[in-house]
Structure formats: structure tokens, C-alpha cells
Structure 1
Amino acid sequence: MNGVVTPFPVPRGAATQTGFERAELTRILDLYGRMVAAGHWKDYAMDMGRDAAIFSAFRRAAERPEYRIEKRPALRQRQGMWALVNESGVVLKRGHDLAGVLAPVERRLMKLVAE
């Protein structure tokens, strides 16, 4: 072959998957790693669906996630595609910038490290 890349055939009407870009996932996993080092988070899960990509952080493995970081591209032009959702499903922060949405967790990490 002479360097020609042939795209993988995708059936018409097939659902596309929403995912995290490398920089976004790096930022989220950096926060997760610092929360693990502080002894607060123990596990995580990722769900990449058609409408949203969700990163869930757990205090313990067998419970609801303490926080969910959601990326919903359909909301990009409205209130922002990023959302921080707490354990009971309440949206704590929503915005266009991932760093701004992660700010409440970052502040909490500072309190955990200071203790």
C-alpha cells in the first residue's frame, strides 16, 4: 500500500458515540488521582453513550458516585456542555469550560489536603 488510509465503514443511521478528548480526560484523571492520594476517592467509572460521556467518582465501589462529570455536546450552545452532578442528582455547576465546572471539587480537595 502506498500510505492510503481507508475509513472503516459505518452503517447509515448508526449512532455516534460521545467521548472525552485527550486533554479533557487528562484534566479529569489528574483531579481523580489527587483525590485518591488524599484518601477520598477509591474508584471511578466511565460511560460513553450517544448523548453524553460521563465520568463518575466513587468514595467506595459499592455505592452511588459522589460526583459525576458529564459532557453533553447537545447543550454546547445553551448552558454549556459540562456539568458537575452530586450524589443525589443535583447539578452543582454547569458551564462551557471544564476547569470552571471542576472548581468546586478542586476547592474541596484543598480543604481535604489542609486537614
Structure 2
Amino acid sequence: MTDRGNGAEGREDTAILIPLHEARRERLDLPVSFDRREIDQLLRLYGRMVAANEWRDYAIDHLNDRAVFSVFRRASEIALFQIVKNPKLARKQGTFSVVAAGGVILKRGHDLARVLGVFDKALKLVKA
């Protein structure tokens, strides 16, 4: 008895879907970068932290495998935090992560706004 259907049930060479923007990036060897919406969120957070006198400088790196937004207390020091966009982790732990100076990952996820929530101050109850 032969299978006259599409034959995809038992075969191991089934197609894998790849987002078009990732296929184009790999074909053209373009570095990973933050899009306009992500840059807007990063700079809003940066502005808030500068106003709170916690951060004073930043750097953006566009590498072949990831994009990194680093923040500094002083330009001569190592980065306090790095916000990393790694598209290869999109289906696993999430594209975005916040990494502390020691290399500890503070938060990881698929949504940049939720990952940046690690910098929000928690409200405290004060008894009068």
C-alpha cells in the first residue's frame, strides 16, 4: 500500500519556516540592529535614568550575531548594564536580555518593554 497524500507525515525533511527578515539578513551578512521602536524604548529609559543621576553615557554596538545597548556611570568605566538583542534566541529564552556588569542575566524575554521593567523602582509602603 502506498501513501498518495502529501507524504509529509513520515518524512524527516519537512520544511522549516524562517522569518523573511532573518533570511535577508543572513544572505546579505547584515549586522543585527535595533529597530526604531526599540531604540525609542531604550532612549526613554536612558533619559529617565540620566534624570535620576544613575547613568551618564551609553554605547550601541551592532554585531553580526547580536546588538548591544551598553550603559555607563562614567565613560571610562566598564558597562553597568547591557541590553542585548540576540535573534537566534527568539524561539528559546527570548530575543532580549539585560546583563549586569558581572555577566549575570537579570531578565530575559521576548518583549523589550517587559525586559526593561527590571529597571523600574518598586513602590514601598511607608507607615505614617
Alignment of 1:48 with 2:73, yes or no, is no
Structure 2 equivalent of residue 23 of structure 1: 37
Q: TM-score, normalised by structure 1?
A: 0.80
Is the contact made by 1:57 and 1:68 (CA closer than 8 Å) also made in structure 2?
Answer: yes
Q: 2:88 aligns with which of 55, 61, 74?
A: 74
Identity %: 47
Partners of 1:83 and 1:67 lie apart in 2 by 10
* Number of equivalenced pairs: 99
Cα RMSD (Å)? 1.9
Structure 1 equivalent of residue 117 of structure 2: 103
Give unmatched runs, 5+ long, in structure 2.
1-26
Give unmatched runs, 5+ long, in structure 1.
1-12
Per chain length, whose mean CA-contact separation is higher, i.e. which structure has more relative contact order (CA < 8 Å, sep 6+)?
1
Q: TM-score, normalised by structure 2?
A: 0.72
Q: Of the two, which has the highest radius of gyration?
A: 2
Alignment of 1:85 with 2:95, yes or no, is no
Is the contact made by 1:31 and 1:106 (CA closer than 8 Å) also made in structure 2?
Answer: no
